[in-house]
Amino acid sequence: MEIRKPYLLFLGDAPDQLAVKTAAGVVDWRRDWCVGQMRLPGCEADVGLEDLDIAGAVEKGAKTLVIGVVNAGGVLPDHWIDVIIEALDAGLDIANGLHVRLGDVPRIAEAAKANGRKLHDVRHSSERFPTGKGVKRPGKRILAVGTDCSVGKKYAALALEAEMRAQGLDADFRATGQTGVLIAGRGVALDAVVADFIAGAAEWLTPAAAADHWDVVEGQGSLFHPSFAGVTLGLLHGSQPDAFVVCHEPTRKTMRGVTHALPTISQVIDATIAAGKLTNPDIRCVGIAINTSALGEAEARAVLDKAAAEHGVPASDPVRFGMASIVERLIEEFP
């Protein structure tokens, strides 16, 4: 999949900032690939780029319209179709992180063909994955897990990769969601893989490697989320992590999209070790990544200090304070 750059990020009429986490992730890690954002009336989200229409984006050199919105079920609203067709008519490709395949929408398929443009359905891989085998393979892996979905697992993994490389480790980010694929240029959107093959897809994504190589694996969902735990478990078994970092948002009371209470960090550590031992008996927690964006600095540092003391591993906010302490612990655990 070769997605042409630069991007125009389409935010549609997203109801809140979390609904555009795909676009926000691209901006945070690949801002130089973006010419602007496009918002429809009623949009309550903003990723901090210049607001452009299709014509303005083309004038600035845009090559691909990226649908930067996530929604329940990954559906394509009917009123977005005209915008997509306008983009195709203007010469843009489309990169789509939704579950729906753009080529299955007749009007979009016809416009893409007529204009000689590409439709990139980022969630859908053309690879055929085997079932997972659970056989230990060379190389090392670290996985971001969460107390909930949308708590910062992708950001934690990307920050880990950057800090590991800065400290001289051989490390590669492995994307498991649509935003990560857009950031990395490769990967597998695991939530679009048939359930029986999720573990196999995770094994394929993190293959045998040199003994000192680290795959830094983007996490998905949570073992405690009633909607997404199946993907989380398959990823855990298939990626076979030697180490994991727990990601947490301390101001939440219930899990996103449901009424279930948030699990504790201790519960996530214990459950991850219990389930992860199936494919890696030596799995261990090396840190806690806490999203403190809703807290003042003093309160954020207090929350981090308390978590580190309670769980006996370093705790940090990957964006605010970096991941140096967690990587130093990783090096101690795996010299």
Q: In the chain, what are the domain boundaries?
A: 7-121, 140-333
What was the pLDDT predicted at 61? 98
CATH class of the domain whose range is 140-333: alpha beta
Q: What is the SS3 assignment for 38?
A: strand
Matching fold, domains 7-121 and 140-333: yes
Taking the CA atoms of 257, 235, 312 and 325 in sequence, report the sign of the dihedral they define: negative
Could you read off the pLDDT tens digit of each residue along the chain, which spans 335 residues? 678 899 999 999 999 998 998 999 899 988 999 999 999 999 999 999 999 999 999 999 999 999 999 887 778 999 999 999 999 999 999 999 888 999 999 999 999 999 999 999 988 877 899 999 999 999 999 999 999 999 999 999 999 999 999 999 999 999 998 889 888 878 898 988 999 999 999 999 999 999 999 999 999 999 999 999 999 999 999 999 999 999 999 999 999 999 999 999 999 999 999 999 999 999 999 999 999 999 999 999 999 999 999 999 999 999 999 999 999 999 999 99
Amino acid 127: pLDDT = 84
Determine which helix (DSSP H) or strand (DSSP E) holds 286, and give its type and residue range: strand 284-290
Q: Is domain 7-121 given the CATH code 3.50.50.60 in the classification?
A: no
Q: Which residues pair with 112 in a beta bridge?
A: none
Which region, left, alpha or beta, applies to residue 216 given φ > 0 means left and ψ of -120 to 50 means alpha? Answer: beta
Report whether 80 contacts 69 (CB < 8 A). Answer: no
Tokens standing for residue 152: 């910062």
How far is C-alpha 195 from the geometric centre of its chain's CA atoms? 19
Cα separations in angstroms, 1 against 35, 118, 129, 181, 185: 21, 10, 17, 10, 8
Q: What is the pTM of this model?
A: 0.83
Residue 1 pLDDT: 61
What's the CA angle centered on 306, arms 265 and 151, to 5 degrees? Answer: 40
